[in-house]
Amino acid sequence: MITDAELAEMKARCEAASPGPWYRTNHLVTSEKYFIAGMRRRPLDACVMDAEFISKARQDIPLLIDDVIEAKSQLMQAKIRCDELENQLSRMLSAGESLWRAVKYDEGNGVDELVEWERAASLKTVNEANK
């Protein structure tokens, strides 16, 4: 996974580059004011494709960086929410264990159906008082 430091470096490089948009004309890449790149040592078709890639990078890379930053933020929020839900589930399971114990305790008195927590707790209290 890309680290926050690597993202910051990429973003800094994007911000330091010549302003966009960049354009491709055959094997040359230019902006409105600057010559950006030219390729001549490869076959012309390859140079044209390289120039297309480079020209779109000026617009594409900043969007990708922003999306990665947003995705990482959403992932962190999801992890926090998962922790919250895990804690809530743990509390619910503890409460369920207490409910099961109360119902199981009352089974000896002929109670074999699941009863509400408040009723089970009150029955347990009454039974303990009658002992």
Local confidence pLDDT in tens for the 131 residues of the chain? 788 899 899 888 888 887 777 777 777 777 777 666 676 666 656 667 777 888 888 889 999 999 999 999 999 999 999 999 998 888 877 776 666 665 555 555 555 455 555 555 565 665 666 66
Q: 4, 44, 43, 10: which is closest to 24 by C-alpha?
A: 44
The span from the CA of 35 to the CA of 54, in Å, is: 12
The pTM of this model reads 0.56
Q: Are 11 and 65 in contact (CB under 8 A)?
A: yes
